[in-house]
Structure 1
Amino acid sequence: MTELPPLSAETLWGIIQGEIPDETVNRLLWDCLGYRYDPDTRQWDAAAVHSDWSDRYPEPPDFIGSRPATVQLTRSIPPEDKQLLKEQLGFTGYKVGELNPTLTRRATAANWLLSYMRQQGIER
């Protein structure tokens, strides 16, 4: 697996604008959630994943391709962090003509990552 980009404002904008591949977006989320891939066994280890996630997803879900996984991701963002994309990045949303499920899921992923960064004290 290739190295993940750093958690930064630039990376979040790359997610929102579709410049970062779906697989990389998923891998960033998986990493932050605690999923670890063991190349020796070729299996995912969810020992460090909170039971809210590991019970439902013993293997990491495809957040870009799966509505249920993205709904759970949305629900896991604390209420006070729901507007971080707007408040911290100035993201005003997508235009109606460009809106599609993939872009919506990417915005959710970016908002979740921004919330994670705030909770972990990671500078953007």
Structure 2
Amino acid sequence: MPPLTDDTLWAILNDELDDNTVNRLVWQGLGYCETENGWDNSAVATDWAEKYPEPPNFIESRPATVQLTRSILPEHKQLLKEELGFKGYTVDQLIPRLTRRATMANWLLSYRKQQVVGG
């Protein structure tokens, strides 16, 4: 897995990192762990583990992406703009796949920030 750096986040936003890797970064942050026998969700928050015993494909699932958006702390909702200077997509780029990738990048940025400050 690539490190959770600004370059990785930009690669997500610029559609340079494949969807599977982007999903796996979020799954890892949520606590999902792949084992020989499937997925271990014992480290996943209860609200996620109950709704998604196996990690969802955020690119394909609007409900999962909505839940991901809601799980971003209010003070972290603008981190893409504040920390990365991301200005958003142009109107012709506003397709679900890219907007979901932006949500995932924002969640990862929030996750990274929480890890640095210890929660």
- TM-score range (shorter-chain normalised) is over 0.9
Gaps of 5+ in 2: none
Matches within 5 A, 1:10-29: 10-29=7-26
- Aligned mate of 2:104, from 105, 109, 113: 109
Residue 121 of structure 1 aligns with an amino acid whose one-letter code is V
Indicate which of 80, 86, 93 corresponds to 1:91.
86
Residue of structure 1 equivalent to 2:4: 7
- TM-score for both structures, normalised by structure 1: 0.92
Cα distance in 1 for partners of 2:12, 2:64 equals 17
| 2:24 corresponds to 1:46 | no
Report runs of 4+ in structure 1 exceeding 2 Å deviation. Answer: none
Which has a greater percent of helix? 2
Paired-residue identity, %: 63
2:31 — aligned with what? 34
Aligned length: 117
Aligned counterparts of 2:95 and 2:19: Cα–Cα separation in 1: 14
How much has 1:31 moved relative to structure 2? 0.5
Q: How far apart, CA to CA, are the structure 2 residues paired with 1:68 and 1:81? A: 20
CA RMSD of aligned residues (A): 0.9
Runs of at least 5 residues in structure 1 that lack an aligned partner in the other structure: none
User: What is the alpha-carbon distance in structure 2 between the residues aligned to residue 37 and residue 81 of structure 1?
Assistant: 28
TM-score by length of 2: 0.96
- Per-residue Cα deviation, 1:13-36 (whole angstroms, up to 9, x for no partner): 000000000000000000011101
